[in-house]
Amino acid sequence: MPSTEKRLKDKVAIVTGASRGIGREIALLFAREGAKVVITARNKELLDSLAEEISQIGAQDCLSFVLDVKDSQKVEEMVDKTLDKYHRVDILVNNAGITRDGLLLRMSDDDWDEVLDTNLKGTFFCMRAIAKVMMRQRAGRIINMASVIGLIGNAGQANYAASKAGIIALTKSVAKELGSRNVLINAIAPGFIDTEMTQALGDDIKDTILKSIPVGFLGKPADVAKAALFLASDESSFITGQVLTVDGGMVM
């Protein structure tokens, strides 16, 4: 008979950008798999709703923090408060991210800075704060949310592509630094996932996107969450510095 043991039983997992879409699905799946989940986002109302939902899953503990990952001091405070309650952090999922799309010649300094500061610098701040904890533990998993756009680029998304390509390079570099301490660091590069962002696209754009995906349909947030669960679990104990694309074959 297959094992009924939960794959993240008693693990402490932080998920940033958890209020909606992929981050929300990851937080819920981790809770169902036995983790004590710490969720962060900028939207308090959505965060409170998710915290309530998590608390009803097997009576799992849940901490929530209204957090802008661009603020390194607030990131450090979030980690400290997590340690005060749970005394360890086993998993970090850096999912917080934004887009401010526009063609290069029309892109403002603010649009560039906001995307790079949130997506790339925010990931760096969270990794730096958690690395100290995981190195002392001599164990930990960090999962960074990249994108297929960071692998292939996309017109009108120079800032977003640069941030996600930077996350991939950051993942590989820090994986080399921390591997000897059993801190494993990987990235997930989702393709087009059925979220609020893609639902707002016009039918013509959706048709063009679908033609670029060999399987012929958009992914679901759950598809990305399952990949994150694999990388967070003991099943990936010999994997680090890798980029797992979840894209229906779009990039191959």
User: Which among 39, 40, 34, 84 is positioned nearest to 59, based on CA atoms?
Assistant: 34
User: Which among 26, 240, 21 is positioned nearest to 139, based on CA atoms?
Assistant: 240
Q: Which amino acid is at 87?
A: H
Helix, strand, coil share of the chain (percent; to 5): 50, 15, 35
Concatenated DSSP letters for 33-56?
Answer: TT-EEEEEES-HHHHHHHHHHHHT
List, in order, residues 6 or more apart from 245 with CB less than 8 Å away. 148, 151, 188, 189, 190, 191, 251, 252
Report CA dihedral (214, 18, 41, 20) to the nearest 10 degrees.
60
Q: Which pair of structure tokens corresponds to residue 7?
A: 């794959």
Residue entry with tokens 């533990």? 137
User: Which among 224, 186, 205, 201 is positioned nearest to 17, based on CA atoms?
Assistant: 224
Please list the active-site residues. 160
